[in-house]
Amino acid sequence: MSEPQGRHELKHYINYADVLELRARLPLVASLDKHAVEGSYRVKSLYFDNYNDKALREKIEGFSEREKFRLRLYNNDTSFIRLKKEQEEWHMF
């Protein structure tokens, strides 16, 4: 495993005029999700860990390379459930 590092996220608030500008411009470069119902959908995720809480400990300790397992359900549709192993790697700039 790599040495633990701190993780930093920058969040930026935008004003309502910027929201309107983004709503006008985004359709020019991105399309709506074809799985959305009336423009949105509900996502439910369940993450798994081992008996030693490895994924939790690695997240808290700030490891830059981790793996996690996730079960995901969309719009409460039990006919389409996905299990995914996620590899997460991030770098500080």
Number of independent structural domains in the chain: 1
- Structural domain harbouring 47: 16-89
The answer to whether residue 6 sits within a structural domain is: no
The answer to whether residue 9 sits within a structural domain is: no
DSSP string, the chain: -PPP-----------HHHHHHHHHHHHHH----TT-BTTB--EEEEEE--TT-HHHHHHHHT-SEEEEEEEEEETT-TTSEEEEEEEEE----
Indicate whether 93 pLDDT > 60.
no
Q: Which pLDDT tens digit goes with each residue over 28-84?
A: 999 888 778 887 888 899 989 988 999 889 888 888 788 888 999 988 889 989 999
Indicate whether 89 pLDDT > 80.
no
Rg of the chain over Cα atoms, rounded to whole angstroms, equals 18
The answer to whether residue 61 sits within a structural domain is: yes
